[in-house]
Structure 1
Amino acid sequence: MSKQNNVNITHLDICLGDDYASIKTLNSEKSSFSNFILEKKLKTRSLSDFLDKILSEKNIYELNIENVNVHFDNDLFCLVPNELFEESQKKEYLKYITRISNDDFISHDSINEINVKNVFLPYVNVNNLLVEKFKEINYFHYNSSLLKKLFKLNNELQQKNCLYCIVSYKKFKIVAFNKGKLSFFNSFEYQNSSDILYYLLATCQNIKLNIDKVNLNYILNLKVDDLIENTKNFYSKFNVVYDSSLDKQDYIYS
């Protein structure tokens, strides 16, 4: 089957972690979102086959694709302030996070909104697959795109004491801004709502945020049983600013 050669150009967005993939296609007629979750984490070498199978089954290769964006969602990254960043030192930034070999390709994103570079290891085998199929791609770290969106949201909300909790499959991230600057960022694994609240409370204690005054904002890429109900026991000021069950897509695509 040949690719469609009409004017209906489709834009492709991909988020890929070691235990999930999400795909969004958008053209002049419609948008479509699909999420694929794995029970067990895949080895990096298997991620390209995992993604290739998904793209084939969803008939993505048959579309008239233009503008491919892929976001790598992994823990192989380090946020470095612009004033401390040196291109030649990228391996040094990551050596305490993961083992780095001489052959590893290291990339970085510029998050100009908060004057930070995100140094990370992309999945090279995935990039090779996508370049082979689509010729040109744009790739980023998921957290770079996330922090850019949160910075914009933070300015819109104009809350003095603000905390964001981004909940996804098996993992969640906590982000805090102070006077327009990133003051905290970390990710955690969870099994239930109690785990999420435990780390939220611990974070507030560590960065000296009063739980009676802080504005807690949830971004729910996945709903967790009893999370909102249990949050009421600890936080008086909280809000769900994004709910994927309503929008039917990952926050990064919204």
Structure 2
Amino acid sequence: MPQVQNNMPTMHKKMSVLIYQDGLSFYIYSSTGIEKRIFKSFKHESNPIEVLQEIENIYDIEEELNQSFEDVTLIYHHSIFSGVPGSVYTENLKSDYLKYNVRLLDTDIISTDETIETIDYKTVYIAYSNINNYFFEKYGDFNYYHYSTLALKKHLSEIDLTRSEIILDIKTSHFYISIFENGKLILHNCYPHQAAEDILYYTLFTAQHNQLDPETMDLKIIAETKNNTIYDLLYTYVREVSYVNDSNSYIENILCV
């Protein structure tokens, strides 16, 4: 594929862009670590056209984005996805995996990430064609994934293979629940939240539905900032609750692939 010409010299830097419906996160990093973080929150959940407008506005302001990068990665963080066992996945049926959960448009690009072989999990999701085209025109070749794929790979490297674990990965307006039992993925989904009670409800509901005992399961929270209200509410009903040590580094390891 053709590469976009840029007057600035190519730096041995990489960039990951987290794209969600109510914000954007840019991470510029190299082998020595993260060198620049740029965050943008939206006033409301935005459609792909509005998200692209925000991206263009950021590029007009942030000069550091207008350089060549060794690698560019887009990471879609939204609830328009489904997990499918890789062993039964069929390429020409990929729209069927989503159509019962979301209204699909003719312009939607249905994408898949590589199967995570150890748990036989494949993410099927919508990638925004206008945003993909924008980054291709600016940088040429780039990689893109759904956040779920990268997060599950990271979780697998950290979980205890001898017990049941629930991992809550909390973002501003949504959070992911991942349930592992002896290293096997039992559930992975994304839910909206406006209050701590929403997180409690979905956590207890999914635990009960999957026959997990709040007295024995291990509940871990990943969040950019610790929220005592969420912790105290969960701890009222679950015996073992903890925040992942250095959650920011944990999240950055997911994003900076």
TM-score (normalised: structure 1) = 0.89
1:55 corresponds in structure 2 to: 59
Q: For the structure 1 residues 76 and 231, does the alpha-carbon distance in structure 2 shift closer, same or farther, using more than 3 Å as the test?
A: closer
CA distance in 2, matches of 1:148, 1:35: 24
1:19 corresponds in structure 2 to: 22
- Contact conserved, 1:193 with 1:224, CA < 8 A, in 2? no
Q: Deviations over 1:25-50 (max 9, x none)?
A: 01366522222211201112222221
Q: Which moved more, 1:210-219 or 1:174-183?
A: 174-183
CA distance in 2, matches of 1:35, 1:102: 31
CA distance in 1, matches of 2:31, 2:184: 37
2:192 corresponds in structure 1 to: 189
- Contact conserved, 2:168 with 2:178, CA < 8 A, in 1? yes
Alignment-mate amino acid for residue 12 of structure 1: M
Alignment-mate amino acid for residue 150 of structure 2: S
Q: For the structure 1 residues 57 and 172, does the alpha-carbon distance in structure 2 shift closer, same or farther, using more than 3 Å as the test?
A: same
- Contact conserved, 2:162 with 2:183, CA < 8 A, in 1? no
CA distance in 1, matches of 2:25, 2:53: 15
1:135 and 2:137 correspond = no
How does 1:40-119 map onto structure 2 within 5 Å? 40-110=44-114, 111-119=116-124
RMSD: 2.2
Three-state SS of the structure 1 residue aligned to 2:135 is: helix
CA distance in 1, matches of 2:145, 2:62: 23
Three-state SS of the structure 1 residue aligned to 2:242 is: strand
1:219 corresponds in structure 2 to: 222
- Contact conserved, 2:162 with 2:182, CA < 8 A, in 1? no
Identity across the alignment (%): 24
1:5 corresponds in structure 2 to: 9
Alignment-mate amino acid for residue 58 of structure 1: E
CA distance in 1, matches of 2:31, 2:208: 48
**Deviation of residue 99 (structure 1)?**
2.4
2:3 corresponds in structure 1 to: none
CA distance in 2, matches of 1:186, 1:53: 32
Alignment-mate amino acid for residue 55 of structure 1: Y
Runs of 5+ consecutive residues of structure 1 not aligned to the other structure: none
Three-state SS of the structure 1 residue aligned to 2:55 is: helix
- Length, aligned pairs only: 249
CA distance in 1, matches of 2:18, 2:139: 16
1:253 corresponds in structure 2 to: 255
TM-score (normalised: structure 2) = 0.88
**Deviation of residue 238 (structure 1)?**
1.7
Alignment-mate amino acid for residue 47 of structure 2: K
Q: Deviations over 1:162-187 (max 9, x none)?
A: 11011110111111012322101122
